[in-house]
Amino acid sequence: MSSAGCSTLICGELSCLKVDLRGTRHLLTSQHSLPGIPVALKQSIDLRTSMDGKYKEIAEELFSRSLAESEMRSAPYEFPEDSPIEQLEEKRHRLERQISQDVKFEPDILLRAKQEFMKTDSATDLEYMKEQSQIPDLQEREPVPEREYQRVTISGEEKCGVPFTDLLDAAKCVVKALFIRQKYMGLSLQSFCRTTARYLQELSERPLDLDIYEEEIPETTVTANATVHPPVSETHPYENVDPTSMPPDMGYGCKMVDGVMHLYTTRNTMDKTTELDLPYPDLQEYIADMNVMMALIINGPVKSFCYRRLQYLSSKFQMHILLNEMKELAAQKKVPHRDFYNIRKVDTHIHASSCMNQKHLLRFIKRAMKKYPKEIVHVERGRGQTLMEVFESMHLTAFDLSVDTLDMHADRNTFHRFDKFNAKYNPIGESILREIFIKTDNYIEGKYFGHIIKEVMADLEESKYQNVELRLSIYGRSRNEWDKLARWAVKHQVYSDNVRWLVQVPRLFDVYHTKKQLCNFQEMLENIFMPLFEVTVDPSSHPELHLFLQHVVGFDSVDDESKPEQHIFNLDSPLPVNWTEEDNPPYSYYLYYMYANMTVLNHLRRLRGFHTLVLRPHCGEAGPIHHLVSGFMLTENISHGLLLRKAPVLQYLYYLAQVGIAMSPLSNNSLFLSYHRNPLPEYLSRGLMVSLSTDDPLQFHFTKEPLMEEYSIAAQVWKLSSCDMCELARNSVLMSGFSHKAKRYWLGPNYIKEGQEGNDIRRTNVPDIRVAYRYETMCEELNLITQAIHTDELETIREEGSLCMGAVQVEK
């Protein structure tokens, strides 16, 4: 159609975008994530608000303010808060907990607890479950799930405490923002919360069609009584590197145009008629959407509405705990065998280069010095250096080394000093040791690093219930980085069922540009994405990468977010090919182009039946607020999200869309925010989809099980209940990139269903009461918002009707 000969490119892109969106109703399934939900194209409802026509000005004002933010006392997206109120609340909270603790245990629970205590705590779940299945009576799940608990309800006309006009304006804004996220998630085949989608669907023209979800999810044979462990594959996934056994070459060609990859059905990319109709996001539309979002988050009435809803959610949760704590506890005690230790947890944010603890790294270095003293590990000015020589040049022996000399732990000097923290990545302050021991691409081809990672993997496998999503780096400096990385993984057989990879791309264009390694930003994008397109078109062209990519779940974007940004991303920003200046592109620019290319790649991968990838950047750890806006629009989930505590509108949106947030309070404590001010307990109480992660155990943790250390400290400092901890663990599995099949084993065969139907307490140890509370509470919020819009619609129709009648009467 118009996509070929069209004079304006944007117009062509738009038309193919629409065509494909309609075509994506029956999606193939991504192996790692819930399928993206098709976008409801036409909204019949009126979402005009008082800000219409002014988005651009408001957004630009906010952008430019964010450049000079440090001088301001409170930012325009914040809600002014007085500390005495906080203190009062804290006091009330404590009192409530005390009262609820005084409630006496029910006798039958005591008995249960005793039996629990007598039972031997075996680690052999498998056998236990087998035994259990031989006793059918015990195994039968209660036919009626727990629906009885103390519910908090609010009655009255104006339930939300604001006038209807305010509610309506806020509701329209919130719905508008949710539609924006849904659109970008659908376009890129990332997942969108089902419950929210259902409510949004009611507002759009298209009838509710839930079947599409069921079709998209492949049937697996996980029954209600299956074990909690997925079957283990007999063969190593990297055993067979034979290119002839790989899927055939599609013969497509690819070329990057204006920073986004385009696909052609022949290798000749000059012939525009052969261009493939894959959806690309439209830059103009994206900028417009971003401006809408920026304007929403500082709108006074909307801000105040969202702030009130969040306060209400906190209070409601306190009330829920006050009334149901004992019931939740009882439900957990009734479950045989399961406890916090043997439920599945995923460390959703951890960097591979610092995933071992200091003691582990130290032991490994000492062992390497004993085992391979004569091995050439490094080339200095054309001369090979052995490991022994490297240490001699530093005047060190194996005996001298200690955790203190290693000096890799973050301490009080790293707080608000990301530069000092970065320097801690070097053992003994020597970058050469980092090069030798914790890099995949060095003279020994990452041999030592591979060994350490495999040791970490072995520990995880032994712990059985702990899983990690490790970040490995691709810098975008050269075209062969992916091949080198994949060769490292395949050669050293670095694989574990407990581990999935995320690829982190550091935002370091300015550094490489200054070093003359890159001329423009598009080169960086090509280096990152071209190999991925090539291997998807023809797996045998990069056989190792094809194997390695099967365990990569998505992309991360990393760097110090508090670094000042010199640019505002708008339509005047140079295209990637013209970005030749010294300055680094802003965060949202990086994210947009990663998103755009990932979107095209995902559609190509879906054509091939390969799994699709997701975006999971570091976002909102520090820096300007628009990072979190980009995150909300473009990414499946984020890491950190600390700044949401200051932006009520965004926080409420992250809640309603259930955007996953991997939080690392120990890491924050060393770098950006002290532990007692961390917003995690507040987010959790409000029902945001938060999980606990370690970030960098090498720098922040002391024990052999850093993830347990993270949970343990959180539980003690914030007085989390066992139920809270299990909920956090369940969230971590839900938001992780592990396969749908694994999640069915870990959480229950119906985990995808909404509400308590999706919960299996025998696997998650989360009481149905808690899951039901979360679900019902969210439905109430969504209902409040959608009902306001519906009511308004009805009234408009009635008004129009009467006007019409009036007109007719006049005519008579």
Q: Which residues bind Zn ion (CB under 5 A)?
A: 695
- Cβ proximity to Zn ion: between 13 and 695 the closer is 695
Nearer to Zn ion, 305 or 700 (CB): 700
As measured in angstroms, the least distance from the Cβ of 782 to Zn ion is 32
> Hey, how many other C-beta atoms are within 10 angstroms of the C-beta on 575?
15
CB of 409 to Zn ion, least distance (A): 16
Q: How far is the CB of 618 from Zn ion (least distance, A)?
A: 6
Backbone angle region of 104, left / alpha / beta, with phi > 0 → left and psi within -120 to 50 → alpha: beta
Q: Measured at the alpha carbon of residue 430, what is the angle toward residues 428 and 431, in degrees to the nearest 5?
A: 135
- Burial (CB < 10 A; 0-12, 13-18, 19+), residue 516, is exposed
State the Cα–Cα distance between residues 807 and 804, nearest whole angstrom: 5
CA distance 241 to 260: 30
Q: What's the rounded Cα separation, in Å, for the pair 532 and 69?
A: 39
Instruction: Find the residue with minimal CB distance to Zn ion.
Output: 695
CB 453 within 8 A of CB 697: no
Between 421 and 775, name the residue whose CB sits nearer to Zn ion. Answer: 421
262 noted as active-site residue = no
Specify the residue, 442 or 668, whose C-beta has the smaller distance to Zn ion. 668
Query: What's the maximum distance between 2 C-alpha atoms anywhere in the chain?
Result: 106
Closest distance of CB 667 from Zn ion, Å? 7
Which run of H or E residues covers position 64? helix 55-67
CA distances to 218, 250, 524, 578 from 519, rounded to whole Å, are: 45, 31, 9, 9
The candidate with the shortest Cα–Cα distance to 34, out of 679, 636, 775, is: 636
Residue with smaller CB distance to Zn ion, 471 or 770: 471
Degrees to nearest 5, angle at CA 96 with 93 and 101: 130
Buried-exposed string 280-311: b where 16+ CB fall within 10 A, e elsewhere:
bbbbeebbbbbbbbbbbbbbebbbbbbbbbbe
CB 443 within 8 A of CB 379: yes
CB of 439 to Zn ion, least distance (A): 18
CB of 454 to Zn ion, least distance (A): 22
DSSP 637: E
Q: State which residue, 255 or 439, has the beta carbon closest to Zn ion.
A: 439
523 or 695: whose CB is closer to Zn ion?
695
b/e sequence 393-411, b meaning 16+ C-beta within 10 Å: eeebeeeebeeeebebbbe
Minimum distance from residue 349 beta carbon to Zn ion (Å): 6
Closest of 469, 482, 39 to residue 289, by C-alpha: 39
Side chain identity at 695, as an amino acid letter?
D
Cβ 268 to Zn ion shortest distance, Å:
42
Rounded CA separation 280/10 (Å): 10
Give me the catalytic one of 93, 492, 551, 640.
Answer: 640
- The DSSP H or E segment spanning 457 is helix 447-463
DSSP three-state, residue 383: strand
Q: Give the Cα separation of 601 and 469 in Å (integer).
A: 21
541 in helix, strand or coil? helix
Is 471 or 551 the residue whose CB approaches Zn ion more closely? 471
Q: Which is nearer to Zn ion, 635 or 764 (CB)?
A: 635
Tell the smallest beta-carbon distance from residue 353 to Zn ion (Å): 11
Q: Which two tokens stand for residue 446?
A: 């990452």
Q: State how far the Cα of 27 lies from the Cα of 24, in Å rounded to an integer.
A: 6
Q: Which amino acid is at 160?
A: C
The residues carrying an active-site annotation are: 640
